[in-house]
Structure 1
Amino acid sequence: MGYRDVAKIGIGGPVGSGKTALVKHLVPDLVDLGYEVGVIANDIMTQEDADVLRRAFAETVPEDLVRGVETGACPHTGIREDPSMNLAAIDEFTEWNPDLDVVIVESGGDNLAATFNPELADYFVFVISVAEGEDIPRKRGPGVTQADLLVVNKTDLAPYVDADLEVIDRDTREVRGGDPYVFTDCKSGQGIPTVREHIERVLFA
């Protein structure tokens, strides 16, 4: 495998939508399927998410393949405008492990306008939360409309925030225009296998 020749999955979404929880499910699943996985967590000035993931993957992913990138600016800067720090980390991953199959790049918490630079992500997953409001799909942010896969997470919270999942499903179907989306509950793992299947179908066909 050549320099930077590795599949790259970008996972973005607002603060609290469940990006890290999704990554914590996906990585062990991919490892169990035989893939070599690296993980990058972006944040403004902290290694908090990276530390969480290092602990979570202590038995499944070598510590050298879990990296925190501190952007020092708005989270979208490191994934869209100037992805150089993330790309450098991916280069180091491939040097350490030439057999690496995929790198998951998690954005820091951002807004609905967050998207990934095409050089950084071959497949873009955007995560929103039911708890953010029933109308969030109708706001039609670029993350919601342009992601390769939209994940509508925290479906278990719908009864507690007066959100109607049928309404969210209807609006999501309309704004996605036929592109795929999955309803998930990362707490129980519901919907995670479907997310993984979408990723595998595209990246590892």
Structure 2
Amino acid sequence: MTTVRTARIGVGGPVGSGKTALVEQLISGLGGRGRSVSVITNDLVTAEDAERIRRSGLIDPRRVRAVEAGGCPHTVIREDPSLNLAAMDALEAEFPDTEVILLESGGDNLASTFSRDLVDYWIFVIDAASGDDIPRKRGPGVVRCDLLVVNKIDLAPLAGADLDRLLREARQVRSGRPVVCTNARTGLGTDELIDVLDREVLFV
């Protein structure tokens, strides 16, 4: 029997960009396609995001683990990912059917990046309502991630952000790597997002 290694997908982005809501949509969407999912969340000194996901009813609460960074969120996803690696190993040991582990970073800035020792693929989430100048700032998270998600697209007009300009400039700075628009509150864009994951990670 061939053993398929669990796909480890990081989800990062600034505070308030909608990472946890996106993780919830991914849990539902991947589950709907027959994928077995487990989740790890990172917060500074709480397990708030993990508790939210456990209460969501979308996943067996035992499949959700919390890692407390205790300091800069960059540390446990980039410089020293040992806490997250241990949590992943424990999840895989307890739930060997796991096909996908979603690892949500603690909220950070546009410089947040993941160690390639930790994840196979990483998603960076930005909030369209935070301004259409985000791509022009060329933060490493926006430029280097495998998949950029522009979330809260419904709020862009209310914030005076030009969504078309934001997307155009995002595609320019990303040199052809994928960009997907979402509204994680309603699920808009989730199918397209999972299609990208299927193509680039899960069926590779």
Range into which the TM-score falls when normalised by the shorter chain: over 0.9
> How far did 1:14 drift?
0.1
> How far did 1:173 drift?
1.4
CA distance in 2, matches of 1:202, 1:175: 20
Match for residue 124 of structure 2? 126
- Provide the secondary structure at the position in 2 that maps to 1:99: coil
The alignment covers a number of residue pairs equal to 202
Matches within 5 A, 1:28-177: 28-56=28-56, 58=57, 60-177=58-175
8 Å contact kept, 2:37–2:101? yes
> How far did 1:5 drift?
3.5
CA distance in 1, matches of 2:5, 2:81: 16
For residue 38 of structure 1, what is the amino acid of its counterpart? S
User: In the alignment, is residue 11 of structure 1 matched against residue 11 of structure 2?
Assistant: yes
CA distance in 1, matches of 2:90, 2:17: 29
CA distance in 2, matches of 1:51, 1:30: 20
> How far did 1:72 drift?
0.5
- Provide the secondary structure at the position in 2 that maps to 1:68: strand
Identity of matched residues, %? 52
Q: Any idea what the Cα deviations from partners look like across 1:159-187, whole Å, max 9, x if unmatched?
A: 11111111112111111111110111112
Runs of 4+ in 1 over 3 A off after TM superposition: none
For residue 25 of structure 1, what is the amino acid of its counterpart? Q
Q: Give unmatched runs, 5+ long, in structure 1.
A: none
**TM-score of the superposed pair, with normalisation by structure 2:** 0.95
CA distance in 1, matches of 2:23, 2:46: 18
- Provide the secondary structure at the position in 1 that maps to 2:156: helix
RMSD: 1.4
For residue 129 of structure 1, what is the amino acid of its counterpart? D
CA distance in 2, matches of 1:28, 1:154: 18
- Provide the secondary structure at the position in 2 that maps to 1:54: helix
Q: Any idea what the Cα deviations from partners look like across 1:118-175, whole Å, max 9, x if unmatched?
A: 0111011000001211101110001000000000111111111111111112111111
User: In the alignment, is residue 21 of structure 1 matched against residue 21 of structure 2?
Assistant: yes
CA distance in 1, matches of 2:194, 2:89: 24
**TM-score of the superposed pair, with normalisation by structure 1:** 0.95
CA distance in 2, matches of 1:135, 1:85: 34
For residue 43 of structure 1, what is the amino acid of its counterpart? D
